[in-house]
Structure 1
Amino acid sequence: MRCSEEGKQDTRMGIVEALGRPVRGHNLTAEETKALTGLIRDRSIVILSSDKGRSTVVMDKGDYEDKATTLLQDKNTYVVVPVDPSARLQRKVEGELNKLKEARLITERKWSRMRPGDSMIPKFYGLPKVHKKGVTIRPESSERMLNNSADFVERLRGINMEEDGCLVSFDVKAMFTSLPQGLLRQAALSTVESSREFLEKEKLTAKELIGLVDLYLDSTFFKFRDKIYHQEVGTPMGSPISVVLAEMAMQRYEEEVLEDAPPSLKLWVRWTARQPNVKIDGRRPDAPRVTVPFLKGVSEVAARLLRKHGLEVAHKPRNTLHGTLTKGIDAESQAGVRCKDCETHYVGETGKRLETRVQEHQRSVGRRDMISAIHDSKALRGY
């Protein structure tokens, strides 16, 4: 987006003026706030997002853990490991990335962005499948593809069905955690080898790419309660690479199956959740666009000012009941530091490993970092 200095200044002044106006706080009553706080603090329940439908599910914690434990008792898929492999895997990934950088197969920038740091094993959690009987939980960690329902209707045009014809829908059960890793490797290899444009662009050989796929498939560790598991089959839920690998495997599987399909098969399509390339409210999908939290009285002004310069603004809520309630299932670590000479008690929250955060506090005190609350306390009291 290009903008003159005068336009930039007008935009800044308009937003600053809007920020100076009184802003109304949240719209919850005192009783609603108290009830919400009680739900968050209740340790006998877990509050999660549902697998489908964007709904919020409240489950008894014991029931939830029993279902998760039952799922993890599948010895063919999950194996308990005795030690945390995070440090070993981090060194292995760093070694592979260093080889690619030294061979000039990836740039310094890509190497820096992909290089892991302070690795911590992911936590396992389940999403309740409320659309199915019994409330099970799902693990998280092509030309035949459909964009949306409108695309499906368009493909049906011109197809003449016999009177005894029927529409059949198939659903792959636990696809990500059931696909054989051999199939995933072969599908990835055939897809890469057939994409000369990709190989030329990335400057990687098919062997090098498959080596990275093997490294990924060997890194499927997670933690539940106090145990660490390794997933022996399939790919982990929640990873963007899992979606790509599963898509490649399904394409390969479909090609083999459809070779023997009967002539009476009129149409075969597959749907995946992805954003269609369509106009939104008359705007081009490739127009510069930014998503920011909504703040009444400010966001409207900012959107109007930025639209003058060709930048579209989309708003998202700052806080929602769903987001507030469901974030506790994978909560960040909380730690406290108590002064040995007085009653001062520092409490912090972090997504990093505890030992890493403690080391950061120690360095902050050593270099007299003024943004550190612990250093401020030490400087104020002189000890």
Structure 2
Amino acid sequence: MSEIHGALGNNCQANSSSVYEEKANALLQDVNVYEQLKKDPTQKYQTKLIKLLKDLKDKGAIDSRTYWKLYPTVCDVPKFYGLIKIHKAGAPLRPIISSIGSVTYELARFVSGIISPLIGNTEHHISNTQSFVEDIRDLRWDPDESLVSFDVSALFTSIPVDKTLEVVGELLKSDSSWKKGEAENLEPEQVLDCLRFCLGTSYCVFRETFYLQRYGCAMGSSCSPLSEDAYMEYFESQALTSASHPPRIWKRYVDDTFVVIKSTHIEEFTDHINNIDPNIKFTREEGEDGKLPFLDTLVCRQQDGTLKVKVYRKPTHTEQYLNFSSHHPLEHKLSVVRTLLHRAETVVTDQTDKEEEIAHVKNALRNCGYKDWTFFRGQPKEKDRASQNPDSETANKGFVTLPYIEGLSEKLRRVFRTAGVSTNFKPQNTLRSALVAPKDKTEPIKQSGIVYEITCADCDASYIGESARKLEKRISEHKSTAGSSKSAVREHVVRSKGHQIDWENVKVLEREQKEYSRRILEAIHIRTQKPRLNRDKGLEIDPIWDNLLMPRGAPLHRNIL
């Protein structure tokens, strides 16, 4: 059995499951980073978070609306998986903990929104490739200088959490601009309590075994990149001010740095930055023949000492882009054209190189089925910019994401447009979803945020319900109401005199984290399946949807709801 993963670009690599698991287990067996747990700690962390939120609410730090927004109801277990670094020797794994729907998912997003504006404001920070090119466009390289790139090894699992919290605390105290909106009544220490909880509960499951990340930040939590950035800003400040011969230029994007330094000082400076924090270690790449790859650029030295920038493609790059014949909306295909041509225009600094890059892009796209007319349609138009303007007349009337079905979705867009509602399309079946499945699957009995169906083993009676809690918990609640009038399921057993509920085959019909959307799904299933045991019909659905919900030719019972 093979699994296909890829950590960069459009390349992928097939590994046998045994090789993948061997690499993943090698990471998880590092006792300096991970600790194996005896059982699932979700319930324990859920209880602790509820206590933390209640304390904040009681002290007036957050209001009831924020309390319930952050309250952990749907609590999926974070899943560990690895993406193969196909560009590195031995194809090692990049460890990721998927925290979507976990206990701390909403809290981490909340904290990230507070601290995000405080980070990335130093002269050394790079936000993207375009800003990097602008920063070095007028830079001159002296003959006795070298271009060097330093890369932090395993950055996320190397960050000291305690020091990071101290750094973030200083940022919160020195700049109070974050005290607004939902965070208006919070104090810096209370924000730190929330961040400390998020970073301290980085647990996960892999192949039914639970682990706790003891050191560093988990890649996959929304507050981890910001925590990493905060610490690295502190680290680079210490490193540069204490260096005997600091580099003239130090630019950093996450864990990669672009450095201009005297050639005679490279070894000394490398030793210096590798001895500041015992857990933060840098690898080094020096430019060859006056050229250094950094991010997706190739920085080249010219004879007069100026620098020019070209697009860089790794040796593993395949020139495979979204095929024009694939079942995706046209706008997605045109966005591929637009993105690649925009990169050529904004990243490449020399006109001749720019023309060569544009020709290269067009040739690669032609090989993926793109026609020449797409190169013109792929250019942004004034009317497109106007339609994307948030202040436009239609922008505030709503937005909807539709599954993409060629021909039908475009017609629905035109209908929504007449009502001033913007639309976006999302393909439902992709090669990635079909071939790449690195995460552990959650057993139905362990799933939360569900619409479920309970059936009778002796007749066609059934019950459809929804719950934010795990299915096993909901089943336990149904069973515990034996003999109670509160349970329609148990009432059926009593009245039928001998019928048994098929508890072993309770089905999960839908999964949805958002309560309102989940209740809509529940109501749809009740309306279409008409379960005999339901006492009410769930959320009211307008009869206008009957033609879509009911099978063709079925009678429309407009008094159902």
TM-score (norm 1): 0.73
Corresponding residue number in structure 2 for 1:326: 436
Output aligned runs, 1:101-112, within 5 Å: 101-112=57-68
The counterpart of 1:179, out of the listed 159, 163, 169, is 159
Q: Distance in 1 between matches of 2:38 and 2:148?
A: 46
The answer to whether structure 1 residue 376 and structure 2 residue 517 are counterparts is: no
Label 1:334 to 1:306 Cα distance change in 2 as closer, same or farther (>3 A): closer
Q: Distance in 2 between matches of 1:61 and 1:72?
A: 16
Corresponding residue number in structure 2 for 1:195: 175
Q: Distance in 2 between matches of 1:337 and 1:62?
A: 37
Which runs of no fewer than 5 residues in structure 1 stay unpaired?
1-43
The answer to whether the Cα contact below 8 Å between 2:462 and 2:531 also exists between their aligned partners in 1 is: no
Label 1:58 to 1:204 Cα distance change in 2 as closer, same or farther (>3 A): same
Q: Distance in 2 between matches of 1:230 and 1:206?
A: 27
Q: Secondary structure at the match of 1:329?
A: coil
Q: Distance in 1 between matches of 2:157 and 2:201?
A: 14
Q: Secondary structure at the match of 2:94?
A: strand
The worse-fitting range, judged by mean Cα deviation, of 303-312 and 60-69 is 303-312
Q: Secondary structure at the match of 2:27?
A: helix
Label 1:192 to 1:136 Cα distance change in 2 as closer, same or farther (>3 A): same
Q: Distance in 2 between matches of 1:246 and 1:264?
A: 22
Label 1:309 to 1:81 Cα distance change in 2 as closer, same or farther (>3 A): same
Q: Distance in 2 between matches of 1:324 and 1:310?
A: 35
The answer to whether structure 1 residue 67 and structure 2 residue 23 are counterparts is: yes
Q: Deviations over 1:224-276 (max 9, x none)?
A: 22322111101111110111111111111111112235677333222259x99
Q: Distance in 1 between matches of 2:470 and 2:177?
A: 41
The counterpart of 1:356, out of the listed 473, 480, 483, is 473
Output aligned runs, 1:88-167, within 5 Å: 88-141=44-97, 142=120, 143=122, 144-167=124-147
Corresponding residue number in structure 2 for 1:234: 216
Q: Distance in 1 between matches of 2:248 and 2:23?
A: 41
Label 1:104 to 1:177 Cα distance change in 2 as closer, same or farther (>3 A): same
Q: Secondary structure at the match of 1:140?
A: strand
Corresponding residue number in structure 2 for 1:271: 253
Label 1:351 to 1:249 Cα distance change in 2 as closer, same or farther (>3 A): same
Label 1:135 to 1:291 Cα distance change in 2 as closer, same or farther (>3 A): same
Q: Secondary structure at the match of 1:138?
A: strand
Q: Distance in 2 between matches of 1:328 and 1:158?
A: 44
The answer to whether the Cα contact below 8 Å between 1:159 and 1:266 also exists between their aligned partners in 2 is: no
AA paired with 1:376?
A: P
Q: Secondary structure at the match of 1:186?
A: helix
* 1:342 positional shift: 7.7
Q: Distance in 2 between matches of 1:210 and 1:199?
A: 14
Corresponding residue number in structure 1 for 2:149: 169
- Root-mean-square deviation (CA), in Å? 3.8
The answer to whether the Cα contact below 8 Å between 1:89 and 1:219 also exists between their aligned partners in 2 is: yes
Label 1:193 to 1:98 Cα distance change in 2 as closer, same or farther (>3 A): same
Q: Secondary structure at the match of 1:176?
A: coil
The worse-fitting range, judged by mean Cα deviation, of 50-59 and 263-272 is 263-272
Which runs of no fewer than 5 residues in structure 2 stay unpaired?
98-119, 255-294, 296-338, 347-378, 446-452, 480-486, 493-521, 535-561
Computing the radius of gyration from Cα coordinates, the structure with the larger value is 2
The worse-fitting range, judged by mean Cα deviation, of 81-90 and 297-306 is 297-306
The counterpart of 1:218, out of the listed 166, 181, 200, is 200
Label 1:109 to 1:55 Cα distance change in 2 as closer, same or farther (>3 A): farther
The answer to whether structure 1 residue 365 and structure 2 residue 475 are counterparts is: no
Corresponding residue number in structure 2 for 1:206: 188
The size of the alignment, in residue pairs, is 331
The answer to whether the Cα contact below 8 Å between 1:333 and 1:352 also exists between their aligned partners in 2 is: no
The worse-fitting range, judged by mean Cα deviation, of 102-111 and 294-303 is 294-303
Corresponding residue number in structure 2 for 1:11: none
The answer to whether the Cα contact below 8 Å between 1:52 and 1:129 also exists between their aligned partners in 2 is: yes
- Sequence identity (%): 29
Label 1:314 to 1:226 Cα distance change in 2 as closer, same or farther (>3 A): closer
The answer to whether the Cα contact below 8 Å between 2:462 and 2:533 also exists between their aligned partners in 1 is: no
Corresponding residue number in structure 2 for 1:45: 2
Label 1:281 to 1:290 Cα distance change in 2 as closer, same or farther (>3 A): farther
* 1:303 positional shift: 4.0
* 1:118 positional shift: 4.7
The answer to whether the Cα contact below 8 Å between 1:221 and 1:229 also exists between their aligned partners in 2 is: yes
The worse-fitting range, judged by mean Cα deviation, of 195-204 and 95-104 is 195-204
Q: Secondary structure at the match of 1:51?
A: coil
